Amino acid sequence: MDPTRFTKIDDTAWKIEPTGDMRVPGIIYADEELICGMDDKVYEQTANVATLPGIVKGSFAMPDAHWGYGFPIGGVAAFDPDHGGVVSAGGVGFDVSCGVRTMLTALSVSDIRSVQKPLADALFAAVPAGVGSKGTITLDSEQMDAMLHGGARWAVERGWGEAHDLDRIEEHGEMAGADPGCVSDRAKKRQRREMGTLGSGNHYLEVQAVEEIFDCGVANDFGLKQGQVIVTIHCGSRGLGHQIGTEFLRDMLPAAAKFGIKLPDRELACAPINSEIGTRYLGAMRSAINCALANREIIGHFARQVFTRFFPECDLQLMFDVSHNTCKVETHTIDGEPHKLFVHRKGATRAFGPGHPDLPPALQDSGQPVLIGGSMGTGSYVLTGTAMSEEKAFSSACHGAGRAMSRHAALKKWSGRQIVDDLAERGILIRSPSQRGVAEEAPGAYKDVTAVVLAAEHAGLARRVARLSPLVCIKG
């Protein structure tokens, strides 16, 4: 992407001036090298989002931004329901509430090295992964609706997790406003046997080592120590969320025309927040958030069981669980006044700063953990939210490295078997049901996660706390 197309605000903020039907500017947070590496579609999609009714302040894109469906992945936009604001299924994405959970152990890297191969095999056996993967849990209609209402709390009440986990989960593990009646029978059928499964694509369960600490005080608040082993899970609402996204994008297209909404791209299909279809989508989308929260809670429970077999005294404690791909009602300050806004984050993570009332007491001083996944052969980061992020992008930050290459292009360039062998030589064990999937998720297919994180930090979106390196990766 040509940086001269923008008005440069500073070294990590680039402005698309409002033209045509744009109601607000577009702002992309990235350094110049990341901007140059982005596809022109990121510019186009960021500008297109800025044309939607009721958008407030700006259309934002994070440093990991890349082309998506309607919104760019890494896109953030907030809408005011009192000024014609809309909700867009494309602004949430197909994998509703895909997110990241990090669990702490008291183990060291040497502890893992002594059992690395059997541990990898056991985790792979315990957590189904891959396209269409099915688990050991089967839900009937009544259980399905209870799960869609209760989220992680539902899972804990049934023995798949621990009650104290709920204090460290976004929304305390249970998204309010969920309405399972707005979820189609087809979506529920797809999810009937998918609880406790990773799915495919870039989803993973990873055993990691804390490689470097950047902020000792915040790391201590989070429970992170140099050389410590942690477990990170990245997945979402599986087939149910995908079906909800598919159905409502289809239904929102004629709805947008009915309400006189001019769309620069049909993929931005949307409806007024207060409309009948907008209300139905929110009820279904919130149900999918609960599905994802329950799914990660169950996978975390399975991981605990495996670790206990190898290390009987091991107790995996949840550090935090946060979603991307959501639309949340949040209060933000606009022109000095608080407003309740519907904040779309697609491939972007909530990043509340210190003192935010929605954070648990133990995190009030440090801010919210922001969990940034890299690629399976590089590393990941833990960041913390900043007070400045509220002003920058409605308390939002990047969510990962972001793709630099399409899956098709990655398949042409890399062999899954070779990637597995190369990483094994570096002490990183990969377990996946699909060599094709490994090739599609090759480390080289992603942006440099360190460059993305540094850009986010310099932009004031979030601040580095720790860098993590992979030991074992169960890949979907």
**Catalytic site residues?**
399
Rounded to an integer, what distance in angstroms lies between the CA atom of residue 368 and that of residue 474?
26
Q: Cite the beta strand spans of 311-461 per DSSP E.
A: 317-323, 326-334, 337-346, 348-350, 369-372, 380-385, 396-398, 429-431
The answer to whether 334 and 394 have CB atoms below 8 angstroms apart is: no
Buried b (16+ CB within 10 A) or exposed e, 39-74: beebbbbbbbbbbbbbbbbbbbbbbbbbbbbbbbbb
Rounded to an integer, what distance in angstroms lies between the CA atom of residue 340 and that of residue 353?
18
The answer to whether 259 and 133 have CB atoms below 8 angstroms apart is: no
Angle between helices 276-310 and 116-126 (to 10 degrees): 140
Where do runs of H (alpha helix) occur along 198-311?
Answer: 216-222, 238-258, 276-310
In the chain, the amino acid numbered 379 is G
DSSP letter (8 states) at residue 92: T
Residues forming a β-bridge with 446: 403
Tokens describing residue 215? 């902020």
- Taking the mean position of all CA atoms in its chain, how far away is CA 150? 20
- What is the end-to-end Cα distance of the chain in Å, rounded? 31
Residues counted in the chain: 476
The answer to whether 262 and 21 have CB atoms below 8 angstroms apart is: yes
The answer to whether 215 and 463 have CB atoms below 8 angstroms apart is: yes
For 44, 86, 105, 148, 246, the CA distances from 250, given in Å and listed in that order, are 22, 16, 44, 22, 6
